[in-house]
Amino acid sequence: MPIRSLVASALFAVVASLGCNFIMNPDGDGVFRCDNPDDCDVPLQDALADRRGQSRCAAAGGGGGGFTQSQDNKVCSVLDKEDVSCNPAPYANDDSVPVAKAYNDALDETGAYSCAQELYGSAGCPPNGSACNEGLEVRTYETLSGDADNPEATEVRVCAPKGVAAVAGNSAVRGFDVLDQHCRSYFCDDAFVCNRGNGSSSGWRCVRCDPDKAYGNGGCGTMYLQGAPSTVYTDDLGGDACDDVASADKTEFGPVVPAPVLNP
């Protein structure tokens, strides 16, 4: 997320009035220098106003141990907000919050998160033998294990459109399409997913996905259910559905995928 520069003269007036430790580079390069994160809140207030970022005060990095790496000359930057929760537990019996209603509705459609034999070979389902339907390819990825005795990530083979990080629904990640959409909607960016972490209260955070991690623990993926992308995902990220100020209580969802009707 880029740092939004402020006019230097106005910035000096604000800083002087607050008496904080903020330092402006005398060369006027637009870099905000600081001693601690609080020093960044005023100069970066416009960039932080949408509640999707947080400030950091740290050495600028780079090799050589020069001026920008000195602990006495740290600089301000904006990072993705790190404390946006995607933990469904607080909403177990509360449908007044959109993510809670969508998640609980998804759990009511348990059968949507598995593929019937006749769907094998279609997107989001296992290959039919070793083959996928035309236009699809076998994708192998790691995801959370549904085995309580072996909670480590397990490898999954799924049919996926070429170049798409499609993931399959299973008992371990049931409802994660909703939790991922919660993160996507909050940040107005489909690169975000729900990271369960170790499952403790310190986990369950929205993060920018990492293709080298297991799905459910920060890995990238779009969940395919019943042969198609989950309908809870919305396409208008960053558009009209993107609020000026993010709120975890106002994220938006499409309808949950219904479980298939079983033939009597």
Residue 5 has pLDDT above 90, yes or no: no
Confidence of residue 174 (pLDDT cuts 50, 70, 90): very high
Question: How do residues 137-164 score in pLDDT, each as one tens digit?
Answer: 999 999 987 654 555 788 999 999 999 9
User: Rounded CA gap, 30 and 16, in Å?
Assistant: 17
Q: What angle do CA 178, 226, 249 make, to 5 degrees?
A: 10
Give me the mean pLDDT over the 66-76 stretch: 62
Class of residue 187 by CB neighbours under 10 A (exposed 0-12, middle 13-18, buried 19+): buried
pLDDT of residue 89: 85
Confidence of residue 237 (pLDDT cuts 50, 70, 90): confident
Confidence of residue 45 (pLDDT cuts 50, 70, 90): very high
Question: In this structure, what token pair is assigned to residue 55?
Answer: 């400030």
pLDDT of residue 14: 35
Contact criterion met (CB below 8 Å) for 222 and 215? no
Mean pLDDT of the chain: 82
What φ, ψ does residue 44 adopt, rounded to 5°? Answer: -105, 15
Q: Which residues pair with 149 in a beta bridge?
A: none
Residue 193 has pLDDT above 70, yes or no: yes
**Percent above pLDDT 90 for the chain:** 60
DSSP string, 72-94: TSEEEEEEE-S--B---GGGTT-
Burial 24-56 (b: 16+ CB within 10 A, else e): beeeeeebbbbbeeebbbbbbeebbebebbbbb
Contact criterion met (CB below 8 Å) for 245 and 188? no
Question: How do residues 249-260 score in pLDDT, each as one tens digit?
Answer: 999 999 999 999
In angstroms, the first-to-last Cα distance of the chain is: 54
